[in-house]
A and B are shown apart, each in its own frame.
Chain A
Amino acid sequence: MTNWSIILNIAKTHLLTKMKSTVTATLGVTFGIGAYITMAGFMTGLNDLLDGLTLNRTPHIRLYNEIEPSLKQPISLYTDFEDTFNVINSIKPKKSQEKIHNALPILDYLKTNNAIKGATPQLQAQIFYLSGSIELGGILVGVDIIEETRLSNINDYIIEGTPEALRNNSNGILLGAGLADKMSLSVGDRVQVSTVAGDIFPLKIVGIYQSGLAEIDNVQSYVNLKTAQSILGQPENFITDINMRLFNIEAAPEMARQLESQFNVKAIDINEANAQFETGSNIRNLITYAVSITLLIVAGFGIYNILNMLIYEKMKDIAILKATGFSGRDVALIFMSQAMIIGLLGGLLGLLVGFGLSVLIDNTPFVTEALPTIKTYPINYSPLFYAIGIGFALLSTFVAGYLPANKAKNIDPVRIIRGT
């Protein structure tokens, strides 16, 4: 039978009379947990930001027609040459259309699939931006801008103007920020684009687009899909890409394979397109956890030391308690509860400190050209970190308290009382 009120009372008295050690041990835990929360929040916030930078603008699955050589060259169709060793020099890509064959029926089909949040058509075309006598090479992307806004965070990157302005203006263009700088253009100005074939079209700038990646901002602009089609002189079914967003990103690879075989197009999923980001995030997470665990272990050793010292100081008390009828288990519980109180207090305080530092970082201005939507440093406030933080605080103090408490449990009161 355990009488908790008296055990906690003794533990409390010990902690209060040894205020200095208690505070030191508690602050050790607080520091460890606070640093963990801050680091984890900051690092994963940064991870999410960096991932989001690329992943959010990457469709989960992208369908397009790859320009590639035929796997089966004509010579292999001849039975006459079946048993011979054929060498073909300078193979050329197969002559095929740039557009996705049957794009509109495919799009209709995809829109009825419940696993798909949305599918939007795109037309990517090589063009030149004309500025006086200068021709800047670039890409014009024809999009369904409203659907695009729903499915990706393109809206975050439109730094001037609105998606609606583009939709409402059939000659409108969302110009890349880099291009706008180079040609000294701003919203309301006109820009001329020329197709590869040499046809020239004037477009009105209704917005500026800045993704943060210079290689995109310097070449890419958005127009309405219909505008792109008419610039290229192509019919309404001329679509080069279909981008899809799924409800469950994990299903992307499998679905991509399925669509590939079903429609005989090239399908690339998000994992293929961004494999390196996953690796980067994992390694950053690993570093975060390695550093945090080190901090917590150091805090744990602090508690171990202080409890050990406390037990040496309290030898006589332990002997008295045992002599007056407290069992070894009671004594162990007294010291365990001291450790757990330190762990709980330190841990909770650590959560507060971590949260405070997170808020501080969250409000620290972080302005960079590359990231137009980011005004302050990113922080991830995931409750998971707080749960792990307090969990680890309790676990480490339990382990750090267990050994000294066990020692106290086994102290022989006779030896202390007799002073041998």
Chain B
Amino acid sequence: MKLVLETKNVNKHFYKPKDFHVLKDISFRIKEGEFASIMGKSGCGKSTLLYILSTMDTDYTGELFLNDRLITGKSHEELSRIRNKNIGFVFQFHYLLTEFSVIENVMLPAKKLAVKSLKEIKHDAYEKLKMLHIDHLAEQRASRISGGEKQRVAIARALINNPTILMGDEPTGNLDSHNSQNVFNIFKRLSTEEGLSLLVVTHDEDFARLTDRIIQMEDGRVID
């Protein structure tokens, strides 16, 4: 099966306040359509790993492949474009642009990509919102909606460019159980119905247990 994401011997150090070897020889693969979760204790380096995988953190050694293409060593401009096109990202805190409306938030990455016309982008954005049952909020200011709704808007935004992989850093960490369940169901549906690859960092064992595969981390190593 096709690989969407692969790491080879990724190592990372934090040098401040003192040298700390946070990631040690991380090598793993995510196949197309796989729904994987990364679990581990606080400070084991799972978020750090995710930010390297997301291409936002470039300060590491080793190699990172996305769709079988080497990503490591590319310029920031290129990485921005790859991130824009291929990676959707959902954070623990909603992280919407509060001054923009919901629909504008969702449209933003697509406008940046500038492949489709504005009309198509708007149409796509509505489709995504509809899929997540929040299309009635489209014209609301992003600061005026509830936490669970914000996270769903963030997911819609992450999906707007039809990315290769969706990454989440504790996407349910800040939500109550009802909304957590909701977000999980959305992820699950994206995985099974749309064949989207997902990689989610989580603390939540219930959440992790229901994913296709759990990557267990401890002290900067993948142990399982």
Contact = CB atoms under 8 A, between A and B. Distances in A.
B95 A326 contact: no
B109 interface: yes
Nearest to A17: B99
B83 A317 contact: no
Given A1-B114, A3-B111, A6-B111, A323 B96 contact: no
B11 interface: no
A320 B47 contact: no
Contacts of B114: 1, 3, 6
Contacts of B96: 320
Given A326-B80, A414-B51, A320 B56 contact: no
A320 B100 contact: no
A329 interface: yes
A327 B79 CA distance: 8
Nearest to A328: B76
Nearest to A3: B114
Interface residues of B, number: 29
Interface string B159-170: 001000000010
A325 interface: yes
A319 B111 CA distance: 17
B108 interface: yes
Given A1-B114, A6-B111, A414-B56, A327 B77 contact: yes
Contacts of B56: 322-323, 413-414
A317 to B, nearest CB: 5
A325 B113 contact: yes
Given A1-B114, A3-B114, A13-B100, A324 B108 contact: yes
Chain A: number of interface residues, binned into ranges: 20 to 34
B150 interface: no
Given A320-B97, A322-B56, A414-B56, 13 more contacts: A5-B111, A17-B99, A324-B83, A324-B89, A324-B112, A325-B81, A325-B83, A325-B112, A326-B84, A329-B77, A413-B56, A414-B57, A418-B51
25 contacts: A1-B114, A6-B111, A13-B99, A14-B99, A320-B95, A320-B96, A321-B108, A322-B56, A322-B80, A323-B54, A324-B83, A324-B89, A324-B157, A324-B158, A325-B81, A325-B84, A325-B112, A325-B113, A325-B161, A326-B84, A328-B76, A328-B80, A329-B77, A417-B91, A417-B169
